[in-house]
């Protein structure tokens, strides 16, 4: 089952990369019209397919293996960006991606050694339900704030990481016991399913705002690094999925997470689109300063 989960997660990673490019391109660069709408809807359809594939994969395999495979979408995104959007593959971009991938796969290699079946009970589901509701409200408010690109990506990663953990719980429950009834646990299960839908909608809207103010690769990097880290933390804290973690393993997880987050920061600094926008802004500033100086000099001559 794990091999099937890996295959499905890899397919989801490709759809995620393609869908992200479609939506980011539509939101950030295309003029309003039918073509823009069609491109955005195509991206939306691909994101829906990502959800379906990930739900099945999370039902078949541990979250510590399934979620980090999404990092492969970075590679797919770069290839798509180069082929269709003229992305320049300079050394800073490639190094940033390599650091990000190294961090997340190191995290996977460590966490997967300690992963085992989750222990689901009514109390843990209730706690996760409360976290999802709180995150949904906060994400909705956060999307209307003046926060920049990276904070939006981080917040989206936290939301989707929590959604992934909840989806894993829901899917594993169905695989092991079938759909629950309307008893105490069953009602919590259905409530958690509803909360997953609301949180997904909030995360989806938040990621649209991130697309509007930054490149697709940065969004993907943030999601594929922060998402699995959050999912693993929730699995460990609420469902005992990683009991037996040794101090060296915990330290390794922290270091790997720091490396992955550092890679995302590097991407946000050295992505060609970011560098280009900085260069344009600097040029505009220099031109404006020169024009002001020239105007001042002319006034002095006139006087």
SS3 assignment for 275-292: HHHHHHHHHHHHHHHHHH
Question: Hey, is 89 helix, strand or coil?
Answer: coil
CA dihedral (232, 237, 243, 249) positive or negative:
positive
For residue 97, what are the contacts with CB-CB under 8 A and spacing of at least 6? 74, 75, 78, 217, 221, 263, 267
Provide the 8-state DSSP code for 119: -
CA dist., res. 82 & res. 104, Å (int): 23
Residue whose pair of structure tokens reads 């759909």 in the numeric block: 179
Provide the 8-state DSSP code for 4: H
Residue 178's Cβ-count burial label (10 Å; 0-12, 13-18, 19+) is exposed
For residue 174, what are the contacts with CB-CB under 8 A and spacing of at least 6? 59
For the entire predicted model, the pTM comes to 0.71
Please give the helix or strand (H or E) that residue 65 lies within, else none. helix 63-66
pLDDT of residue 281: 47
pLDDT of residue 5: 83
CA dist., res. 75 & res. 101, Å (int): 9
Reported as a single tens digit per residue, the pLDDT across 213-238 is: 777 667 777 777 788 788 878 887 78
- pLDDT tens series, the chain, 303 aa: 678 888 898 898 888 888 877 877 777 666 777 888 888 888 888 888 988 888 888 778 777 677 777 777 777 877 777 777 666 777 877 888 888 888 878 877 777 777 766 677 778 888 899 999 999 999 989 988 888 888 898 898 899 889 988 888 888 777 777 666 656 567 888 888 899 999 989 988 888 888 777 776 677 777 777 887 888 788 877 877 777 778 888 888 889 888 887 887 777 676 666 556 555 545 555 555 555 555 555 555 555
pLDDT of residue 135: 93
Q: Where are the domains of the chain?
A: 2-283
């Amino acid at each position: 089952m794990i091999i099937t989960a890996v295959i499905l997660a890899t397919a989801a990673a490709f759809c995620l990369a393609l869908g992200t490019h479609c939506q980011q391109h539509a939101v950030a660069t295309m003029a309003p019209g039918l073509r823009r709408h069609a491109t955005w809807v195509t991206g939306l359809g691909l994101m829906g397919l990502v959800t379906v594939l990930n739900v099945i994969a999370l039902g078949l395999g541990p979250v510590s293996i399934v979620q980090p495979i999404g990092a492969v979408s970075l590679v797919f995104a770069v290839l798509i960006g180069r082929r269709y959007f003229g992305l320049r593959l300079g050394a800073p971009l490639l190094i940033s991606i390599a650091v990000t991938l190294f961090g997340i796969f190191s995290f996977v290699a460590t966490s997967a050694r300690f992963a085992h079946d989750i222990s689901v009970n009514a109390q843990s589901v209730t706690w996760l339900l409360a976290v999802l509701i709180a995150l949904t409200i906060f994400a909705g408010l956060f999307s209307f704030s003046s926060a920049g690109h990276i904070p939006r990506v981080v917040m989206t990663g936290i939301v989707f990481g929590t959604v992934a953990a909840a989806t894993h719980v829901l899917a594993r429950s169905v695989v092991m016991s079938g759909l629950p009834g309307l008893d105490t646990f069953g009602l919590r299960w259905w409530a958690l399913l509803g909360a997953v839908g609301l949180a997904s909608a909030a995360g989806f809207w938040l990621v649209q705002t991130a697309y509007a103010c930054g490149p697709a690769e940065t969004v993907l990097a943030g999601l594929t690094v922060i998402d699995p880290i959050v999912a693993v933390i929730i699995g460990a804290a609420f469902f005992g999925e990683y009991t037996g973690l040794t101090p060296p393993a915990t330290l390794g997880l922290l270091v790997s997470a720091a490396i992955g987050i550092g890679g995302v920061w590097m991407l946000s600094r050295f992505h060609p689109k970011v560098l280009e926008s900085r260069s344009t802004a600097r040029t505009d500033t220099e031109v404006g300063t020169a024009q002001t100086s020239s105007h001042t000099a002319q006034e002095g001559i006139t006087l």
